[in-house]
Structure 1
Amino acid sequence: MKSVPILVALLLVPLERLLQTDLLGRQRPPGPFEVGPLVSLPLDGSVVKVDPRQTRKWGGPERKRKMRASLLTLLLSGYAGTAAAQRVPAARDWGAMADEVRQRPELAERLKAVIASARKVTATPIVKRVYHYADIGKDRTWLDGRAKFMDGQPRQEWFGLAMSDFGTSGTILSELPLLAFAYRCTGEDVFRARIISQLEETATWSPLQRPGWQLCTPAPDPVPADYWDGSWLATGQSVRGIADTLELMPAGNVPPELMDKLRALLCAEIKTVAEDWKLKRGWFRGGKGVPQTNQWVLPTEGLIRACLVLGKDRYAAEYELGVTNLVRALDVQGKQGEFNEGVGYAMFTVSSMLAAAHAMSAQGDARALEHPFLRCFPTWAVHHLQPGRFRVNCFDAGGARTPRNDGGTRQLLESLAVFAQSPTAGWALSNLYDGPTNDLAGLLAGMATVPADAPPCFAFYDGPARRANWRSSWADDADGAWVRGGHPLDGHDHFDRAHVNYIVRGKPLLIEAGTPGYDNPAIHTLYSTVVGHNVLEVEGLKPKKAPAPMSVTRLDASGGDLTVDGTACYPGLKQWRRRVNWDQSQLVVEDQVAAPDDKPAVMLFRWHLGTDQPAKISGEGCNWQVVWPDGTLALTSSVPLTVTQQNLPDNTVSLGRKDNGWDFMHTCVVVRTAQSVPRADLTTTVRGAR
């Protein structure tokens, strides 16, 4: 069977930092579904039209609604049951996998490249923990730029050191297993000496994650000396780095005294993480918990992995707590493989899920590795690639460009291909990217021979991260479109309900601003807000990140026709319905907006263009035309408009040079009703230049 197409937290970790390491913590190279009454959605991703005459027999609107709901339930339950029945081969630990790679002569040259990468690491000093804010940046430590805005405040040192721990955990995760693999392959003492030196230092890092990570916003309040917000991201990454290294090291090559220190460290981490959940320390552990967030998953991984190293039978209660937490995090994600926090954080969090699941399976526990989410996630992830090598970049997803040699994406795909046994990931790795990378998982992926067909070029995801995406083919110069909805579980999301992106022959016509670094001063004003998206703004009403249902009338190889209801995004607004239909000649957006009964309002729409060149604007009253080198945009309205343009920042097309040291700029067309109106109907037609 083909694969079926794939929080509310403060923005705590700069995404660009998360994306510097892959699924297994390896350092990445630099690189930038209410079904409409006329359709059903088969599992192969196509849409079957229903004879409109048949729909008249369905009865009134309520009966139609119930039938649609029944259809959805039938489809998704059938899908979930099939996915849940799938099995993957028993996992092996890192040592066994490394030994297989060593015995494959066809991998000899690539193996040399991996060892060469490890040799470069031996030429660098080990990473050391620092204990004062002034020292962050020394000894290969990392300073989170947000700490710079806390000068003179007590929390600066707390936050800075906590985030420094996150940075150092990423470093040891990217380096130690690589060095251990090289040592296993060569026996050269230069690798062992570097490993032992780093492990001796790491054994002193207790706790692996120091407190203060929650203190990410400036405030003058003193921090209590016993402040503790609990285990966090560095917990999971550090434990993974240690555990992978120990699996890869040949038996007897870690001194007994050092092993005792590492066991004591991991024992303390098990106790701490278990207490954190019992006492509900940290925002995401409060109440019933927030298992959909990355911050729930990473310390959970650390707990599971530490128990596996020391003996899951010895720590049976703690191990089951970890597994229960992990399964909760898997269960809460979308039934079609959608990840609640978008693809950027998925690359970080699913990495953690899969690493824990693989380690569990290697010791005979496949509960996580066989979870339906991990079976379906690869297709959802692959569907983020748009023509022109752009990525669907709603949510905090960093830069939107994804070249064929993108190391991070290739490493994610090869890990999914190896550990989740995903044919879709393997297909994408070979057909959409430059194949596996030269590391251990890449070498293993290179041996995989699981056949796969290309996934559909279009999909409607009605769960978390709700959206429809389409492309005319998998060629880089194809046409593409995606439209955003909204779901109650969306996290790390933007004010972007009903946003529309459009690409013609690989060139972006309509874009969104994207996500810059979290320390960018404009992130909460010009990027993640309505200002950074092709959406409605109603003057006088405050927008909210509300659910935005989507109804799909048609979605097939020729294009799509769907409607998004964004009314709830502006409390008090009477209506905002956006219909989007497109084919390979044009994209048409029809907006219907009704202000509150007692308060006419000025209504504003922005259309972010994928160019930094000025547009030519002409027209008057209710009819306007916008022309730029790559396309045209025609406006027809029920009320008089004013149309202007301005330069706004983006991390999507990133053209020219940074205007102010922070931002690349692009052209944005601003469409505003000439005066306050009770309602407005606007039709926007976008075409590529011919």
Structure 2
Amino acid sequence: MTPYHFKLSGLLCALALTVQGCSRPPEAEKPGELTFYSRAVRDAKLSAEADPAIQKRLDRILAEARSILALPLVRRAGSLAELRSARDNRIGSIDSRTDVVSQTDPAKAEIFALSMADTNTAGLVARELPLLAAAYEITGDKAFLDRVVSQLREVVSWQPLQRPGWTLYTAKNSLPAGGRDGVWLSTGLGIAAIVQTLQVLPEGALPPDLVAALRRQLATEMDQSVQDWKDRLPWFVRSDKVVTNQWVVPSSGIVLAAAYLGRGEHAEAYDLGMKNLEATVQAFGTDGSSSEGAIYAAHWTAPFLFLASRAAQDAGDDRLAQSPFLRNFPNWLAGAFQPGGYVVNCFDGYTALRGTQPLLLPDITLLTVLSQSPALIWLLQNEFGPSMSPLDLYGIMALSLNETSAEPPPLYGAYERAAWVVWRSSWQPDASGVWIRGGHRTDFHDHNDRGHVNFIVNGKAVLIEAGTPTYSLPEKEAEFNSVRGHNVLQVGDEILPRKQPAPITVHRLDAQGGDITVEAGAGYLNGSSKWVDGAGETPRGSLNPVRWTRRVTWDSQRMEVTDQVMLPEAERVTFRWHLGSEQPLEIAAGADALSFHATLPAGVMKFPGWISRENQPLVEGVDWQAPEKDIVNTPSATFAITADQPVEARQEKGMDHAFKFRLWKHQHTTLVVQSREKVQAITIRTVITAQ
């Protein structure tokens, strides 16, 4: 059976979508015609007028817009000293790497800090300007329009939207000849902010001179982006890194600007932007998954793909909208939400952990509104619910979603690009769930997690991984990124094997459970193992091949894991099982040292209702009130381990960022299984039963 092969044709149909997109000629823009954004804002207002509950939600968002009026304008800092003396982040914040660069080259640190601050300020105006425009459209209150005009006049002065220096995150780097490293994230963010604001506002609302200046700014940014691609100036263009968000965001900016200014008049730019983004979605493949994981995809890459897709549709072009990647992305993203409020947390997913729905809500709402996906509409209704709402333009637009079109996402799927299998028994909060990681050659922001298994039973986490803490945590690499932070193999003392492909073979995946195999040994012993076509075959003449085959079968309450390890020379073999509990294990060894039994009692973990930097109960930008306390019931479970070589077992405490956001070094129980002596081959069978 080949990797990612399914016997069930129904499972394949969603992954093998090959609908051909088409491109209609652009239609002439009609005066006063509603855009996608203005239509949704109008519909939200009508929905609120007809439903008091919706009106209450809208009022809370409008109150957020009104609170912005009391804040200073978002402005651009002119020096690092100005950034350091700022009382708030309305001129941008200082990237944490600035001080490190400054120790070696203060001049580079200054340039870098200002460039990175541009991304902060662009993000602020991208959130605030469209919200203020929508508030004016709904209320007619001129105070909102006056603020929009003042902020836009400030933004027009930002020439360019992205100042040079974003590549100077290390003093070893230097700017290219000419002093520019090219367009970047602030370019796309700034263009999106301007275009959305113009499309939300009613015709004639802005002074003509300001509209003309904004159109010139859009044209300048668009033309510079095109030239940078021609000159292959940014590193991601030279390297053809079409799947990185750094390629996608400015490419989307090109499409947004060209579509707004006129596809016909700016055909060269529009065609380049679309060519760039078509390369992206084709590189991602057809199953909708991303090799950067769900959090990076949902925050940067997918939003800008959908923004460009929506702009292209308005320009009469549905090629992106019909791409298999964008059509299947919502189902893949929905599958990252696991029972019990957990989120699949492989890759560097800082917010991918239990209870972060309020933090993820703005991105999920944006993607739902732009995609109009029935699966994401269902997810928004059921995983998030009406008790929380993002306080932005998309929060308003979501009030007009067609909730009758909602459909539950698939319960399971195997995804080639993200290299993971996800499964859940139902969409109830107390369902059981599984996710298993393989590895893809294009993995990015990933950990040493090939072969990792997560297991949730009745909404309680049995097997976990360490997750992703803040990047500045000294223990991040050794205790979180490495094999020590995952339920995987460790060979000898090596904790950071090379990240190599780990193909998954699906033998069965259905409503009752699954049966899969992962070939995860390729990266061990300095990555000397090599695999032919990702099929797990060792080519003749390769040095030091390591073979680790993990087979996993499961249902809603039982999991069996069989690990077969073959090494070129004898080493001690270690496996860890990170447990979703603080309770101590009771471990009983068998008489022959070939087996043992471990019992985990049920327990309770208690956390604060919310942990924030400001010690506030609210998540910034989201209408949600945290509970006073957060109580987590932990499972009871048994572990039956047998091996064909003598093994020993012990328990230790591991670190995690899996249960409470910003509690980076939470301690959980870990079961460690290790060969008693160095071995060249060993097979270990682990049976886990939980409730």
Task: Assess same fold via TM > 0.5.
Answer: yes
Letter paired with 2:121: T
Q: 1:533 aligns with which of 486, 493, 497?
A: 486
Larger deviation: 440-449 or 608-617?
440-449
Distance 1:558 1:471, change over 3 A: same
| Counterpart selection for 2:18 from 81, 85, 92 | 81
Letter in 2 for 1:585: Q
1:465 aligns with 2:395: no
- Verify the 8 A CA contact 1:413 1:426 in the aligned structure 2: no
Q: Distance in 2 between matches of 1:453 and 1:76?
A: 14
Larger displacement relative to structure 2 (629-638 or 438-447): 438-447
**Is the alpha carbon distance of 1:238 and 1:504 closer, same or farther for their aligned partners in structure 2, counting shifts above 3 Å?**
same
Match for 1:592: what amino acid?
A: Q
1:426 matched residue in structure 2: 377
Distance of 1:645 and 1:135 partners within structure 2: 51
Residue equivalent to 1:281: 233
Map of 1:372 onto structure 2: 324
Residue in 2 that maps onto 1:133: 80
Shift of 1:503: 0.9
How many pairs are equivalent?
Answer: 614
Return closer, same or farther for 1:124/1:92 CA change in 2, 3 Å cut-off.
same
Over the aligned positions, Cα root-mean-square deviation in angstroms equals: 2.8
Q: Distance in 2 between matches of 1:409 and 1:221?
A: 34
Kept in 2, the 8 Å contact 1:83–1:375? The answer is: no
Answer yes or no: is the 8 Å Cα contact 1:379–1:424 preserved in 2.
yes
Q: Indicate the SS of the match to 1:595.
A: strand
Residue pair 1:580, 1:589 contacting (<8 A) in 2 also:
yes
Residue aligning to 1:591: 563
Deviations, residues 215-242 of structure 1 (Å, cap 9, x unaligned):
334x467767844322111111111111
Per-residue deviation, 1:676: 1.8
- Measured at CA, do residues 268 and 36 of structure 1 come closer, stay the same or move farther in structure 2, by a change above 3 Å? closer
C-alpha distance after superposition, 1:426-455 (max 9, x if no partner): 222223320483654444444414434423
- Residues 1:680 and 2:682 aligned together: yes
Q: Give runs of aligned pairs for residues 347-386 of structure 1, distance below 5 A.
A: 347-348=298-299, 349-386=301-338
Stretch of structure 1 that moved more, 174-183 or 224-233: 224-233
Give the secondary-structure state (helix, strand or coil) at the position aligned to 1:639. coil
Equivalence map 1:27-176=2 (5 Å): 34=2, 40-43=7-10, 45=11, 79-81=16-18, 92-104=35-47, 105-106=49-50, 107-136=54-83, 138=86, 140=89, 141-154=92-105, 155-176=108-129
**Which SS does the other structure have where 1:366 is aligned?**
coil
SS at match of 1:40: coil
Residue 49 of structure 1: aligned partner:
none
Instruction: Kindly state the Cα deviation for residue 150 of structure 1 after the two structures are TM-superposed.
Output: 3.4
Contact kept in structure 1, 2:94 and 2:117, CA below 8 Å: yes
Note the C-alpha offset of 1:417.
Answer: 4.2
Q: CA offsets per residue over residues 488-535 of structure 1, 9 Å max, x none? A: 222222211110001111111111111122333333332222221111
CA contact (8 A) 2:165 2:175 kept: no
Corresponding residue for 2:434?
A: 481
- Match for residue 571 of structure 2? 601
Aligned to 1:499: 452
Task: Name the structure 1 match of 2:619.
Answer: none
Q: 1:248 aligns with which of 187, 190, 200?
A: 200
Cα deviation for residue 651 of structure 1 reads 1.6
Distance 1:267 1:255 in 2: 19
Deviations 1:601-630 (A, max 9, x none): 122212111123443444273323333333
- Is 1:185 equivalent to 2:138 in the alignment? yes
Gap change, CA 1:153 and 1:363, over 3 Å in 2 = same
Looking at structure 2, the residues matched to 227 and 234 of structure 1 have their Cα atoms a distance apart, in angstroms, of 17
Match of 1:389 among 341, 347, 352: 341
1:442-461 counterparts in 2 under 5 A? 442-447=395-400, 448-461=402-415
CA drift at 1:550: 1.2
The CA distance in 2 between the partners of 1:270 and 1:577, in whole Å, is: 50
**Structure 1 position 340 matched with structure 2 position 283:** no
Deviation at 1:646, TM superposition (A): 3.1
Counterpart of 1:358, as a letter, is: R
- With over 3 angstroms needed to count, the CA separation of the structure-2 counterparts of 1:187 and 1:424, relative to structure 1, is same
Moved more, 430-439 or 267-276: 430-439
In 1, Cα distance between equivalents of 2:113 and 2:669: 37
Q: Is the 8 A contact 1:615 1:626 kept in 2?
A: yes
Preserved contact between residue 22 and residue 317 of structure 2 (Cα < 8 Å): no
**Alpha-carbon shift at residue 168 of structure 1 (Å):** 1.1
The one-letter code of the counterpart of 2:306 is L
Q: Is the 8 A contact 2:560 2:688 kept in 1?
A: yes
Point out which structure has higher relative CO (alpha carbons under 8 A, 6+ apart): 1
Q: For 1:368, what is the secondary structure of its paired residue?
A: coil
Equivalent residues of 2:101, 2:169 under 8 A apart: no
Secondary structure of the 2:679 match is coil
Determine helix, strand or coil for the equivalent of 1:646.
strand
What per-residue deviation string (whole Å, max 9, x for no partner) do you get for residues 42-91 of structure 1? 22x3xxxxxxxxxxxxxxxxxxxxxxxxxx8xx688x323586999xx99
User: % of aligned pairs identical?
Assistant: 37
CA distance in 1, matches of 2:176, 2:334: 46
CA displacement, residues 563-611 of structure 1 (integer Å, 9 cap, x when unaligned): 1111212223331100111123321111100111xx2112221211112
Structure 1 position 117, deviation (Å): 1.6
Q: What is the match of residue 639 of structure 2?
A: 633
Q: Residues of 2 paired with 1:202 and 1:307: CA distance? A: 19
Looking at structure 2, the residues matched to 323 and 446 of structure 1 have their Cα atoms a distance apart, in angstroms, of: 30
Give the Cα–Cα distance (whole angstroms) in 1 for the partners of residues 227 and 23 of structure 2.
35
Structure 2 CA distance for partners of 1:537 and 1:227, relative to 1, 3 Å: farther
Aligned to 2:265: 314
Give the aligned residue type for 1:115: L
Indicate if the aligned counterparts of 1:427 and 1:453 stay in contact, CA closer than 8 A: yes
The answer for unaligned runs of 5 or more in structure 2 is 28-33, 529-543, 602-634
* TM-aligned CA distance change 1:649 to 1:325, over 3 Å: same
How far apart, CA to CA, are the structure 2 residues paired with 1:387 and 1:479?
Answer: 6
Q: Is the 8 A contact 1:86 1:370 kept in 2?
A: no
The 1-side partners of 2:474 and 2:227 are apart by 37
Taking a change above 3 Å as real, the CA distance of residues 540 and 519 of structure 1, as seen in their structure-2 partners, is closer
Mapped to 1, the partners of 2:475 and 2:282 lie a distance apart of 35
Q: Distance in 1 between matches of 2:657 and 2:644?
A: 34
Classify 1:224/1:82 alpha carbon distance in 2 versus 1 (closer, same or farther; 3 Å): closer
Structure 1, residues 2-54: CA drift from partner, whole Å, max 9, x if none? Answer: xxxxxxxxxxxxxxxxxxxxxxxxxxxxxxx93689x61222x3xxxxxxxxx
Distance 1:377 1:198, change over 3 A: same
Q: Which residue in 1 is equivalent to 2:552?
A: 580
The answer as to whether partners of 2:61 and 2:395 remain within 8 angstroms in 1 is no
Query: 2:135, 2:144 within 8 Å by CA — same for their partners in 1?
Result: yes
User: Taking structure 1 as reference, are residues 143 and 666 closer, same or farther at Cα in structure 2, changes over 3 Å only?
Assistant: farther
Structure 1 residues without counterparts, runs of 5 or longer: 1-32, 46-71
- Taking a change above 3 Å as real, the CA distance of residues 83 and 468 of structure 1, as seen in their structure-2 partners, is farther
Q: Which moved more, 1:634-643 or 1:469-478?
A: 634-643
Following superposition, the deviation at residue 203 of structure 1 comes to: 1.5
**Equivalent-residue separation in structure 1 for 2:459 and 2:56 (angstroms):** 35
CA contact (8 A) 1:399 1:514 kept: no
Are the structure 2 counterparts of residues 573 and 608 from structure 1 closer, same or farther at C-alpha, using a change threshold of 3 Å?
farther
- Structure 1 length-normalised TM: 0.83
Query: In structure 2, the residue corresponding to 1:321 is in which secondary structure?
Result: helix
Q: What is the distance in 2 between the residues matched to 1:652 and 1:486?
A: 21
Match of residue 149, structure 2, among 193, 196, 213: 196
TM-score using structure 2 length: 0.82
Q: Distance in 1 between matches of 2:563 and 2:212?
A: 66
